[in-house]
A and B are shown apart, each in its own frame.
Chain A
Amino acid sequence: AQSVTQLGSHVSVSEGALVLLRCNYSSSVPPYLFWYVQYPNQGLQLLLKYTSAATLVKGINGFEAEFKKSETSFHLTKPSAHMSDAAEYFCAVSDLVSGGYQKVTFGTGTKLQVIP
């Protein structure tokens, strides 16, 4: 089964500073990878996804992630943090299971704190 590991359950950055959230995946086949954001007491919103096209994926709200096969990584970055970026971020990988649908497995999440 495929899995993702998120390094750091909490990350704090100053407003305007670079945001870097780390995610490493484990997969025996080219994976589909995702980053989701969750605001308190809300569902998940897709930030971006990698589906074996371009290795640098641009998402919403200025976020982007780079798929690096040699490092089995899919780290999420944003050049300049905003206060509104404070939320929980989940890396996820999808696995094609019997029945033809994709089962999404989530990492443990990283809570981003933005300091004014």
Chain B
Amino acid sequence: GAVVSQHPSWVICKSGTSVKIECRSLDFQATTMFWYRQFPKQSLMLMATSNEGSKATYEQGVEKDKFLINHASLTLSTLTVTSAHPEDSSFYICSARAPLPYNEQFFGPGTRLTVL
């Protein structure tokens, strides 16, 4: 199947710093990518939908200025957590929608963010 990678796989940062997470579709072009957040022992919550060449669409309750999303190319979307705080510690997962014949979302392996 199609492969989606994320980098880094885990990151620890100090409170107040910004962290960038990359999501890449390795063997297909993805016009649409999705960012999810997963708290421990909970389900995935969609944060935003990233469309190549346009502004991301954020879900209700997600701060646009805190979670900056850029989808600069058909294979790369980035999520930047600005001025991170301990409550931002979470598991962030991206997915990319693959075109035919797949026509489904493929998920990255996730990034574990810990803010001290």
Interface on A for B, CB 8 Å cutoff? Answer: 36, 41-46, 49, 90, 99, 101-109
Contacts and interface: CB of A to CB of B under 8 A. Distances in A.
Contacts of B105: 102, 104
B110 A42 contact: yes
A62 B43 CA distance: 24
Given A41-B110, A43-B93, A45-B107, A101 B43 contact: no
Interface in B69-116: 91, 93, 95, 97, 104-110, 112
16 contacts: A36-B107, A41-B91, A41-B112, A42-B109, A43-B4, A43-B108, A43-B109, A44-B107, A49-B104, A99-B32, A101-B49, A103-B34, A104-B46, A105-B46, A108-B43, A109-B42
Among B32, B49, B95, B104: residue with most chain A CB under 10 A = B104
Interface residues of B, number: 24
Q: Looking at chain A's contact residues, is the secondary structure mostly helix, strand, loop, or mixed?
A: strand
A90 B45 CA distance: 12
B104 A46 contact: yes
Contacts, number: 48
B51 interface: yes
B44 interface: yes
A49 B106 CA distance: 13
Contacts of B42: 108-109
B116 to A, nearest CB: 19
A109 B43 contact: yes
B107 A99 contact: no
Contacts of B110: 41-43
Among A43, A90, A102, A108: residue with most chain B CB under 10 A = A43
Given A42-B109, A99-B51, A104-B105, A90 B43 contact: yes
Interface string B49-65: 10100000100000000
A102 B109 CA distance: 21
Contacts of A90: 43-44
